[in-house]
Amino acid sequence: MNTMISTAKKRLRAFLLSAILLSAAQSFAQKSTDPKLDKMPAALETDYALSALPPQLRPGATVYLLDPEKGYYIARKGSNGFITFVMRTAWEWAEFSNDIVTAISYDAEGARTIFPVYMDAAAMRASGKFTALQVRNIIVDRIKKGIYKAPARPGISYMLAPVMRTYPAKPDQHEVMTMHMPHYMFYAPYLTNDDIGNIPDGQADFPLLVNPEAMFLGKRKAPYGYIIVPKGEKERAKIVADNKVLLKRLADYSPYFK
């Protein structure tokens, strides 16, 4: 009898937890320590990467795809200075999760100064020679030595895709989440939320400043900060409507996009 009651309680707790997660419209998955990544279908990866950009920039953008065995490579050379790719390794968290899939784009300045960090992180992971912690430590050391540079001028990273799967903005939250938040990211090296008047620590409202590497470099020493400005409600709805086919393809590719 006690065993039956205990089992019933466990099932009830599991049901309540599932209901909470569904009501929050967030999809969580267990972390994985396996460094191996699957190869996303090239056509899907291309279209998803391009969805990060506004439509007028997509035809002339350079598209990078990921070879899990080697790293990023140019699949389509562009002409307007913008690049786009799907991020699969969030190096700042020192974890090799296999379910991070986020479309990101950069202007020419971001392509020159920020994207090389993602390229090197992907290449190190693909080699199988480094742990996630070693990858992060190497990148942090290169930042400290000035090998990786902060953006030298104002610029923008578009993240306008209809869905993304990654860590939340706060460094103390380590659950990978599926989110719908098309937004703009303006380069803000070495800034803090105090500097832009969003206190305490970015909780007041948008715009907010996100600077994940600040958790181990220090707030005033982190070069890859962004001021984040989300799209409005009507604009977000239009992005979803315009990308219904892409969303279905993503859901077919992996259940965590459902």
pLDDT value at 180 more than 60: yes
Percent above pLDDT 90 for the chain: 64
Task: Note the pLDDT of residue 78.
Answer: 98
Rounded to an integer, the average pLDDT of 26-40 is: 59
Q: Determine how many CB atoms are found less than 10 A away from the CB of residue 196.
A: 14
Task: Note the pLDDT of residue 35.
Answer: 60
pLDDT value at 163 more than 60: yes
Q: What is the DSSP letter of 93?
A: G
Q: Which residue bears the tokens 């103390």?
A: 172
pLDDT (tens digit per residue) in 129-155: 999 999 999 999 999 999 999 999 999
How far apart, in whole angstroms, are the C-alpha atoms of residue 209 and residue 87? 20
Q: Is the dihedral of CA 45, 47, 52, 57 positive or negative?
A: positive
Task: Note the pLDDT of residue 169.
Answer: 61
User: Which token pair is 105?
Assistant: 């784009």
8 Å CB contact between 99 and 165: yes
Reference 64, options 89, 45, 79; nearest CA is: 45
pLDDT value at 28 more than 60: no
How far apart, in whole angstroms, are the C-alpha atoms of residue 255 and residue 251? 6
Rounded to an integer, the average pLDDT of 6-22 is: 37
Rounded to an integer, the average pLDDT of 237-257 is: 95
Give every strand in the sheet of 62-67, ordered side by side.
71-76, 62-67, 83-87, 102-106
User: Which token pair is 113?
Assistant: 């100064």
User: Which token pair is 168?
Assistant: 């939340």
Task: Note the pLDDT of residue 6.
Answer: 44
Which of 13-22, 98-107, 142-151, 235-244 is the least confident region?
13-22
Q: Which residue bears the tokens 């700042």?
A: 92
Average pLDDT for the chain: 85
Long-range Cβ contacts of 227-235 (<8 Å, 24+ apart): 227/185, 227/186, 227/188, 227/191, 227/196, 228/169, 228/183, 228/184, 228/185, 229/183, 229/184, 229/185, 229/186, 230/181, 230/182, 230/183, 230/184, 230/206, 231/160, 231/182, 231/183, 231/184, 235/182
Which of 37-46, 164-173, 235-244 is the least confident region?
164-173
Kindly compute the dihedral angle of the four CA atoms of residues 121, 53, 75, 119, in this order, to the nearest 10 degrees. -10
pLDDT (tens digit per residue) in 62-110: 999 999 999 999 999 999 999 999 999 999 888 898 999 999 999 999 9
